[in-house]
């Protein structure tokens, strides 16, 4: 199937660069370009593209404002293009919350080795079967008021494409005294600080970027920092802590869900509960199998609620998942398995 794609960017030079990058893929057809939100609106109505690439920074109606209207009125898969500065990261996180499929660094288009990722993202975006909409934060759940986690219990989570919305939904169901929780979400280095701060504002537990030596504590959620290190847990008994380990990519990623899950299997075994959420590829599947073999309960997000049924599908296929659940039910199951 040819993916009919509309390019929206106020720079003619950038339009040409995006066109050249996407045209290298014979499965992608550029059906039009637009330099403003008004032009984009008209082009989308006339051309009905499968995917839109959208610049965050545009004159007049910004890319974020246009994205919000598009997702509300005419849901369409969107790949956002942004500079991955701290300001760009904050805007990109907002775009992902609003329903963008993924964000791509505009500067990477000038590096052929990195630019080749964009056609793959566009093709993957075209396969999504449902709107990626912002998830409302849920009010405190009364039955969690008396929640007490079992001593030594912990939760480990892995996610990728679609994970921003999924993690907001998941952690919104956690009480303030949730079991210690460690998360790897595939993100550029500049994104994870903004995202952890966003989660900390939206959710009842305390959410922070993991740092070396941070003790795993009740009521704390630790998000792996993006960059050149992997998040692991270390320690013994109930005294466990975060460890940041330099090293090459594992399962194509750095940090890697597999590396985190393997460490959880070694250190926590049956005390741990794992969840693998929406994402492209298969990172986390082998690590989740190790967790299950070590006695952990393992949960996979089901196909119907996954933005991309990749990571959970591979984990399910190799027998790593005890049960598949819709996203809305995963938080309560994780908490139930960790309850005293």
Rounded CA Rg of the chain: 20
d(CA 173, CA 199): 12
298 or 137, which is more confident? Answer: 298
pLDDT of 142 reads 41
Active site (annotated) includes residue 145: no
- Neighbour count for residue 7 (Cβ, 10 Å): 26
Q: SS3 of 165, please?
A: helix
Written as six digits, the tokens of 226 are 């993006």
| pLDDT exceeds 50 at position 41 | yes
Mean pLDDT score of the chain: 92
pLDDT of 145 reads 67
d(CA 320, CA 291): 8
Mean pLDDT of 220-236: 96
d(CA 322, CA 288): 10
Asked whether 101 and 125 are in contact (CB, 8 A), the reply is: yes
d(CA 24, CA 116): 9
Catalytic-labelled residue, pool 271, 283, 302, 306: 283
| pLDDT exceeds 50 at position 136 | no
Q: Whole-angstrom distance between the N-terminal and C-terminal Cα of the chain?
A: 51
Mean pLDDT of 151-166: 96
pLDDT of 141 reads 47
d(CA 279, CA 185): 9
Q: Please, which pLDDT band fits residue 101 given cuts at 50, 70 and 90?
A: very high
Active site (annotated) includes residue 283: yes
Q: What are the tens digits of pLDDT across the range 170-218? A: 999 999 999 999 999 999 888 999 999 999 999 999 999 999 999 999 9
Nearest to 152 by CA among 53, 243, 43, 235: 235
In order, the DSSP letters of 38-60 are HHHHHHHHHH--SEEEEES--SS
261 or 129, which is more confident? Answer: 261
Active site (annotated) includes residue 271: no
pLDDT of 238 reads 79
| pLDDT exceeds 50 at position 137 | no
| pLDDT exceeds 70 at position 85 | no
| pLDDT exceeds 80 at position 135 | no
Catalytic-labelled residue, pool 92, 159, 160, 172: 160
Task: Say what the pTM is.
Answer: 0.91
pLDDT of 129 reads 57
Q: Please, which pLDDT band fits residue 86 given cuts at 50, 70 and 90?
A: low
Q: Please, which pLDDT band fits residue 95 given cuts at 50, 70 and 90?
A: very high
| pLDDT exceeds 90 at position 155 | yes
- Please give the DSSP secondary-structure letter assigned to residue 177: T
Q: What are the tens digits of pLDDT across the range 247-278? A: 999 999 999 999 999 999 999 999 999 999 99
Catalytic-labelled residue, pool 186, 230, 262, 316: 186
pLDDT of 231 reads 98
- The greatest distance separating any two alpha carbons of the chain, rounded to the nearest whole angstrom, comes to 62
58 or 295, which is more confident? Answer: 295
Q: Please, which pLDDT band fits residue 119 given cuts at 50, 70 and 90?
A: very high
| pLDDT exceeds 50 at position 63 | yes
131 or 242, which is more confident? Answer: 242
Mean pLDDT of 281-293: 98
Identify any residues that bridge with 104 across adjacent strands, giving them in sequence order.
Answer: 81
d(CA 113, CA 238): 44
Asked whether 169 and 328 are in contact (CB, 8 A), the reply is: yes
Tokens 């709107």 belong to which residue? 131
């Amino acid at each position: 199937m040819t993916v009919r794609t509309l390019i929206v960017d106020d720079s003619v030079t950038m339009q040409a660069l995006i066109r050249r990058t996407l045209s290298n893929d014979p499965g992608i057809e550029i059906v039009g370009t637009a330099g403003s939100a008004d032009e984009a609106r008209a082009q989308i109505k006339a051309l009905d593209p499968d995917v839109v690439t959208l610049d965050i920074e545009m004159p007049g109606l910004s890319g974020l404002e246009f994205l919000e209207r598009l997702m509300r009125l005419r849901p369409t898969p969107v790949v956002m293009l942004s500079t991955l500065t701290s300001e760009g990261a904050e805007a990109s996180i907002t775009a992902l919350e609003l329903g963008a499929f993924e964000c791509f660094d505009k500067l990477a288009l000038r590096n052929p080795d990195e630019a080749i990722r964009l056609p793959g993202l566009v093709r993957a975006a075209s396969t999504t079967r449902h709107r990626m909409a912002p998830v409302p934060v849920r009010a405190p759940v009364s039955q969690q008021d008396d929640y007490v986690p079992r001593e030594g219990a912990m939760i480990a989570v892995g996610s990728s494409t679609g994970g921003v919305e999924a993690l907001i939904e998941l952690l919104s169901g956690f009480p303030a005294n949730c079991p210690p929780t460690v998360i790897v979400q595939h993100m550029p280095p500049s994104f994870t600080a903004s995202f952890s701060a966003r989660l900390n504002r939206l959710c009842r537990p305390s959410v922070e970027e993991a740092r070396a030596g941070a003790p795993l504590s009740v009521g704390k959620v630790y998000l792996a920092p993006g960059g050149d290190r992997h998040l692991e847990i270390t320690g013994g008994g109930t005294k466990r802590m975060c460890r940041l380990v330099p090293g090459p990519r594992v399962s194509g990623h750095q940090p890697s869900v597999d590396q985190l899950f393997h460490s959880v299997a070694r250190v926590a075994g049956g005390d741990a509960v794992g969840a693998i959420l929406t994402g492209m590829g298969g990172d986390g599947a082998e690590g989740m199998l190790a967790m299950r073999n070590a006695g952990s309960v393992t949960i996979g997000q089901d196909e119907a609620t996954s933005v991309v049924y990749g990571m959970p599908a591979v984990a399910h296929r190799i027998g790593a998942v005890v049960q598949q659940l819709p996203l809305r039910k995963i938080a309560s199951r994780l908490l139930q398995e960790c309850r005293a």
